[in-house]
Structure 1
Amino acid sequence: MNIKLMLCAAALAAVAAPGHTEWRYPHADSANTSFAKVVTAPASRPVRAATIGPLASGAAPVVGPDGTVYIGNLNGQVLAFHADGTPAWSRQLPAGQWVTSSPVVGADGSVYIVAETRFLVDGETSLYRYESTLHKFSAGGGWLYQTPFPQRWGGTKYSSRGDANAPPNIWSSNGVEAVMVPAIYAAPLSTSLRLVAFSTSGAVLGDAPVLEPSPGTVTGGGDWTSLLDLLPPFGYGGFAGQPSTCTDPSLCLPEDTTWPLSNVAIWQSNKGEAPTVMVSDAKQDVVGYTFDPAQGFTERFRVHDPDRLASSGPLILPDGHTVVAASGGKKLNRLTFAGPNFTPMGDSIGDISFVAAVPTRLPDGRLIVVEEFGGIAEFSVAHALSNHVKLTGRSIVAAASSCNLVYVATTAALTTLDIATLQTVATLNWHGGGRSSPVISSRGYVYAAAATGNDQTNFMFVFPPLNPPATSFHGTPCEASTTTLGGAATR
């Protein structure tokens, strides 16, 4: 490829960066870019492998303002590690609760984590109802509160507080924060997807309907029971893209792998406007909201794609356009662009295979997506497919980008790619990866998780920063901005 990149200027890898530059969110920032403004080293030899227990599909670490790394597991443990992977603290959630996704960290270092439990519906043998709870911890491990999700179907045996297996995100405006999480509420003949907002003190500030079908239907037709395939941690028939048989377990996702529920993306226009909150209904709608802590959510637009189903969570570009991967229907798999107002969806140019992971935005405006059946697809700033890179193994999680490198986790390996050429520069072979995204700290550490043992216990591998740390990369700027190759702006 003949590409002139705009890459990193000053990435201070030796000292802690301000909190807003840290990987505090499940996808680096509230817009889900999966980009860290730092120069990093290839992930070739870990300095530590920390035991983190069994993880839900899609769960990954996040990093606090002081460099502490946080993650939660299916045993109901919340774990904190120092930047080098040595243990900091651990806490056990109430009996029966498991952690369903990545945490998120507030501007003050507070850690928010969603846990849930499940119960057999009275009189049923295989139908469960779910109860979700938001927990808040201090940076030092103090348990500050737990607050339940809103109740629906109250007064019936299907009474539920939702299944919230999507990672939380944080809305922030004028120094006020709100934690936002989608949740599914299901009963035999009706299923709804709601977007719930909590204050930092635990009060419910908003509860908006993303998908409210009439009994027995969903947006665009189909059967409501298809939404149940999104439920963790055991799923209903396994992951949507997983083949029915697997001849090489080292290359395939475990049978209990589920498709993580579409997460929230939040965009601040920097024009004094209220942040836009974007969520996909995991069907055919991408919905945009504004939010006010006193008024809750206001739906501003809903863009419908009749040809495909959204298969990934949203990424928001600097101009406000939202990108989701979409699959099936009348057309082949594409990236789909919507918003920021009532703009109809536009497609990328070129077909891709099935994608469950949120797209990743590189600092020069290119996009890459991790394909579930192995490899990544690269799209130019004009949204045209420009490159396919074949990788070994499967994956349902996003790539992570620094100023100079891209990290991709599959079942078989953690692969480091050169950001300019997407050529492999390092490979760490492992087993049981592809269900947890790589994470990059502002100090230049890289974290990646895989279940390398037969008991599916996960280890978090810690890869060191450059030594000595780099303060620039090719002497050119590394900004995730609207400036793109050739001076053109992303649409």
Structure 2
Amino acid sequence: MNIKPVLCAVALAAIANVGYTEWRYPHADAANTGFVKVITAPATEMLRAATIGPLASGAGPVVGPDGTVYIGNLNGQVLAFHADGTPSWSRQLPTGQWVTSSPVVGVDGSVYVVAETRVLVAGETSVYRYESTLHKFSAGGGWLYQAPFPQRWGNTKYSSRGDANAAPNIWSSNGVETIIVPAVYSIPAYTSLRLVAFATSGAVLGDVLVSEPSPGTVTGDWLPPWSFDVPSEPPSCTDFSVCLPTDTGWPLSDVAIWQSDKGEPPTVMVSDALQDVVGYTFEPAQGFTERFRVHDANRRVSSGPLILPDGHTVVAATSDKSNRLTFAGPNFTPAADSTGNLGVVAAVPTRLPDGRLVAVEYKGGLAGFSNANALNSHLGLPGQSIVPAAASCNLVYVATAGALTTLNIATLQPVATLKWHGGGRSAPVISSSGYVYATAATSSDSTNFMFVFPPLSPPATSFHGTACDTNKTTSGGLSAR
């Protein structure tokens, strides 16, 4: 009798029973909290640096139920690594396709990757049409299918299947999973942001318009407005230890998904990177139904959404006068927006296990917020960043252009700083076994490396003394049970 599968199942069941979940989503879970319940070690001595090729802005690794790490790159490769960073398998996508976001992993270990290609429009010199495709792989690397995104303008030279450079998320209810991805469809003087839903079989179950700007807002080089270009820097800013590459744009906002405790279908939240935060209910047989839309005429949404346990949605918003974290539905109870001197934020805020929020500023600072949503701490960090922090029960990890910084979760003060070059474009990731993964590029070319940091040895067996301590009752905290 082969006892290995039995032992594996027992181990996974034990992990589930104490509340561990794997970092299967680009931001840890469907709600984009950026938190995993495990005690970790500071990111100091690397276990390994794995070559992963060129990465798109915002793209990073995710972790499957068995601890396998998955990532896709701009060369059209889907790469899998064992937990310690040693190679497991790699697959090459069809010619011309590249991966522009993080994968997402289903509950059965299936890996979903969105790839896209672009083609020069006939008769044009700088106008392209995009084609996006959802790929599904088994946990062992078997290619299961490719499913094209819905087509628009099919009878014209602008025929398009969307520019889907945001990470996918997974809607899950009653054992049914649906992969949901935002996509931009553009022709000159017309651009729309849509949500597309795929069954695990690859069938399209939903396709809904989220937002479209007024005609004439598309730039001459046909960049969709949702690319949200990074604020301009002096031409002399070429130091990878301080600055992001000059061609780095902010990735399209991915969605967040919230399951209430009332038995209702999960709510799908998306920010349009303009002035709206929109909530939908979704049913596989009916598609999307818009539930509400929050519009702020005074600010532009600059980050993707984070959904709190009470149903409030948090996004970063910016204007010429001030920047803040702002709160929207699906919980209709008003919540005060953040106060304090916040810099521009491109990254989804991160929720700490005791209920506090932290936001990584584009200029490299980390802003900490109290449970009352007031900005009560600020830490300067080396270099720019467009990605969120990652939190465990005891530590917070922040990737900027110049360093990977480990912070004490209680004080938000550094306990370790690993200097590097070319970071700040991919968020750190924490596995349920305590490994920490972070990516950065070399200063000489576009090759990226995934740095692997080992877990505590021996591993912690209790949450006592951490933010996940079952005896702590901080308002808004996550349950450790």
> TM-score, with normalisation over the residues of structure 1?
0.90
Contact kept? 2:435, 2:454, Cα under 8 Å: yes
What is residue 276 of structure 2 aligned with on the other side?
285
Structure 2 residue identity aligned to 1:225: T
The equivalences for 1:204-243 within 5 A come to 204-216=204-216, 223-225=217-219, 229=223, 239-243=229-233
What is residue 326 of structure 1 aligned with on the other side?
317
Looking at structure 1, the residues matched to 237 and 467 of structure 2 have their Cα atoms a distance apart, in angstroms, of 46
Match 2:304 to one of 286, 310, 313 = 313
> Could you tell me how far 1:480 is from its partner in structure 2?
11
1:200 aligns with 2:200: yes
Match 2:389 to one of 384, 399, 406 = 399
What is residue 116 of structure 2 aligned with on the other side?
116
What is residue 60 of structure 1 aligned with on the other side?
60
> TM-score, with normalisation over the residues of structure 2?
0.92
Looking at structure 2, the residues matched to 332 and 315 of structure 1 have their Cα atoms a distance apart, in angstroms, of 20
Structure 2 residue identity aligned to 1:33: T
> Could you tell me how far 1:241 is from its partner in structure 2?
2.2
> Could you tell me how far 1:479 is from its partner in structure 2?
7.4
Looking at structure 1, the residues matched to 415 and 224 of structure 2 have their Cα atoms a distance apart, in angstroms, of 35
What is residue 374 of structure 2 aligned with on the other side?
384
What is residue 11 of structure 1 aligned with on the other side?
none
Contact kept? 2:312, 2:330, Cα under 8 Å: yes
What is residue 357 of structure 2 aligned with on the other side?
367
Match 1:265 to one of 252, 256, 279 = 256
Structure 1 residue identity aligned to 2:50: A
1:338 aligns with 2:328: yes
Contact kept? 1:364, 1:480, Cα under 8 Å: no
Looking at structure 2, the residues matched to 439 and 210 of structure 1 have their Cα atoms a distance apart, in angstroms, of 29
What is residue 442 of structure 1 aligned with on the other side?
432
Structure 1 residue identity aligned to 2:97: Q
The 10-residue stretch of structure 1 (470-479 or 86-95) with the greater mean CA deviation from structure 2? 470-479
What is residue 433 of structure 1 aligned with on the other side?
423
For each residue in 1:164-195, what CA deviation from the matched residue of structure 2 results, as whole angstroms up to 9, or x when unmatched?
01100000000000000000000002100000
The equivalences for 1:178-197 within 5 A come to 178-197=178-197
Contact kept? 1:52, 1:457, Cα under 8 Å: yes
Q: Which structure 1 segments of 5+ residues have no match?
A: 1-14, 217-222
Classify 1:418/1:487 alpha carbon distance in 2 versus 1 (closer, same or farther; 3 Å): closer
Looking at structure 2, the residues matched to 285 and 226 of structure 1 have their Cα atoms a distance apart, in angstroms, of 24
> Could you tell me how far 1:224 is from its partner in structure 2?
3.6
> Could you tell me how far 1:341 is from its partner in structure 2?
4.9
What is residue 9 of structure 1 aligned with on the other side?
none
For each residue in 1:73-96, what CA deviation from the matched residue of structure 2 results, as whole angstroms up to 9, or x when unmatched?
000000000000000000000000
Looking at structure 1, the residues matched to 476 and 404 of structure 2 have their Cα atoms a distance apart, in angstroms, of 32
Looking at structure 1, the residues matched to 200 and 215 of structure 2 have their Cα atoms a distance apart, in angstroms, of 35
Structure 1 residue identity aligned to 2:389: A
Structure 1 residue identity aligned to 2:275: Q
> Could you tell me how far 1:484 is from its partner in structure 2?
3.1
Q: Secondary structure at the match of 1:347?
A: coil
Q: Which structure 2 segments of 5+ residues have no match?
A: 1-10
Q: Secondary structure at the match of 1:225?
A: coil
What is the aligned-residue RMSD (CA, Å)?
2.4
Larger relative contact order, structure 1 or 2 (CA cutoff 8 Å, min sep 6)? 1
Contact kept? 1:357, 1:396, Cα under 8 Å: yes
Contact kept? 1:163, 1:231, Cα under 8 Å: no
Classify 1:273/1:479 alpha carbon distance in 2 versus 1 (closer, same or farther; 3 Å): farther
For each residue in 1:321-357, what CA deviation from the matched residue of structure 2 results, as whole angstroms up to 9, or x when unmatched?
100000014x400001001255678421113111100
Structure 2 residue identity aligned to 1:321: H
> Could you tell me how far 1:472 is from its partner in structure 2?
2.0
What is residue 51 of structure 1 aligned with on the other side?
51
Count of matched residue positions in the alignment of Structure 1 and Structure 2: 465
